[in-house]
Amino acid sequence: MSNKKQRNREIWALESEKNRPLNELHSEIFPEEYDFYYDSHVDAKDRKRGINPMNEQYQLKVNRRRFALGVEPYGGTVGIDNTEGLISSYEYCSRQLQKTEKL
């Protein structure tokens, strides 16, 4: 392996380790953002067309929970009329980690 490739792998490993707490918290609080991993072939095609394969009740439940946290809706705005002032899910997790670091 060339020195450049080795160095790139080392940089990638360092970045991955640095972001691990953020990624773990994100997947714990916002599992809906990882639902696509379990999509069937048909679901994956629907998502590519902009169709959310999750049923509307699930979308409503998820978006209400996210809205209560001040986070943007995921996979459409089902149940949410105004998204002004909402933050991304990663921003939410980043702020939560900053709070715990200050303690």
pLDDT tens, residue by residue, 24-75: 999 999 999 999 899 999 999 998 998 888 889 999 999 999 999 999 998 7
The sign of the dihedral angle between the CA atoms of 67, 38, 9, 25 is: positive
* Assigned domain for 14 exists: no
* Assigned domain for 2 exists: no
pTM: 0.77
Count of domains observed in the chain: 1
3-state class percentages of the chain: helix first, strand second, coil last, to nearest 5: 70, 0, 30
* Enclosing domain of residue 53: 20-102
* Assigned domain for 29 exists: yes
Q: HSE of 68 in the Cβ direction (CA atoms, 13 Å)?
A: 7
Are 3 and 66 in contact, with CB atoms under 8 Å apart?
no
3-class state of residue 54 by DSSP: coil
* Assigned domain for 15 exists: no
* Assigned domain for 90 exists: yes
* Assigned domain for 8 exists: no
